[in-house]
Amino acid sequence: MAQIEVLIEDTRWTDAGLHALAERACVAALAELSLDADFEISLLACDDARVAELNTEFRGKPTPTNVLSWPSEERSAQVPGMIPRLPADIPHEMELGDIAIAFETCVREAEAAEKPFSDHVTHLLVHGTLHLLGFDHTNDPDAALMEGLETRILAKLGIEDPYRV
């Protein structure tokens, strides 16, 4: 079973029940890909200012965003639209990487989409976990693969398709 280490910098995340949401979302993403080993994920629960700092430092974008991910190693597929090299294929790999999530941006996006906050956060944590596993959305085939996985995982959790218009 996955081990999710949560570091709460913004206490509003505690009130939002982030520990339970993270456990549910990350485990569901791993289970969908038949990954049931003791993988480790570190999650930083922070505010927009902190995520903006991280986004500036690592992506050169001086703005907040909803979620950021740092895989412990490169796992991307060689061919767009194909499944990446999953950790199950890498013996003894346990640490998947780090995720940071921004409170204010998540609240704004959930309100704008008229979605429950917990559903939106669950989606973003599934999304971040898939990034740790090498999935991406930088081109159409990769985006279709990743969004399809997200939709399937969320449906199993009773959450509506976040990409349905």
pLDDT band for position 49 (50/70/90)? very high
User: Exposed (0-12), middle (13-18) or buried (19+): which is 121, by Cβ within 10 Å?
Assistant: buried
**Structural domains of the chain in order of their starting residue, each with its CATH number:** 3-156 (3.40.390.30)
Q: What is the pLDDT of residue 108?
A: 98
Q: Is the pLDDT of residue 141 over 90?
A: yes
Q: Is the pLDDT of residue 130 over 70?
A: yes
Angle between helices 48-59 and 103-112 (to 10 degrees): 100
Q: Is the pLDDT of residue 67 over 60?
A: yes
The reply, when asked if residue 123 is annotated as ligand binding, is no
The backbone torsions φ and ψ at residue 44, rounded to the nearest 5 degrees and listed phi first, read -100, 115
The reply, when asked if residue 92 is annotated as ligand binding, is no
* pTM listed for this prediction: 0.95
Q: Is the pLDDT of residue 89 over 70?
A: no
pLDDT tens, residue by residue, 17-37: 999 999 999 999 999 999 876
Are 27 and 2 in contact, with CB atoms under 8 Å apart?
Answer: yes
CB-based contacts of 42: which residues, under 8 Å, 6+ apart?
4, 5, 7, 97, 98, 99
Task: With H, G, I as helix, E, B as strand and everything else as coil, classify residue 43.
Answer: strand
The reply, when asked if residue 131 is annotated as ligand binding, is yes
Q: What is the pLDDT of residue 91?
A: 55
Q: What is the pLDDT of residue 156?
A: 98
pLDDT band for position 2 (50/70/90)? confident
